[in-house]
Amino acid sequence: MAVPKKRTSVRRKGLRRAGHTHKLYANVPTMKCPNCQSLTVKHHLCPSCGHYRGRAIIEVASPQDAEEGGHEKGGDESR
Ligand SMILES: [Zn+2]
């Protein structure tokens, strides 16, 4: 049976459980959107223009100024 060689430290355990959002563990592959040239996550639709693989999947209210919007996806800002 495989046994870990070193004990996982409290810091490393906390980093692992941080939801992979910490800068040491965030390894999200990014790419440029072919439609609006903004930085998006691979295999996800573009949040600024709503395109994925060259097709418009969702309707974004205004693709030009998408920075001030963003309230249509999710809408769970009460946390
Ligand atoms: Zn886009």
pLDDT tens per residue across span 7-17: 999 998 887 87
Looking at the predicted structure, is the pLDDT value of residue 32 above 60?
Answer: yes
Amino acid at 43: H
Looking at the predicted structure, is the pLDDT value of residue 74 above 60?
Answer: no
Q: Is residue 18 part of a domain?
A: no
Q: Up-side HSE of residue 18: CA atoms within 13 Å toward CB?
A: 14
Q: Is residue 50 part of a domain?
A: yes
Under the banding of pLDDT at 50, 70 and 90, the label for residue 3 is very high
Q: Is residue 69 part of a domain?
A: no
**The pLDDT of residue 5:** 94
Query: 53: domain range?
Result: 28-64
What distance in angstroms lies between residue 63's CA and the mean position of ligand 1's atoms? 8
Q: Is residue 4 part of a domain?
A: no
Q: What total of structural domains would you count in the chain?
A: 1
Q: Is residue 60 part of a domain?
A: yes
Task: Give CA separation, 51 vs 31, 60, 76, in Å.
Answer: 13, 9, 22
What distance in angstroms lies between residue 77's CA and the mean position of ligand 1's atoms? 23
What distance in angstroms lies between residue 59's CA and the mean position of ligand 1's atoms? 12
CA–CA gap between residue 33 and residue 40 (Å, rounded): 6
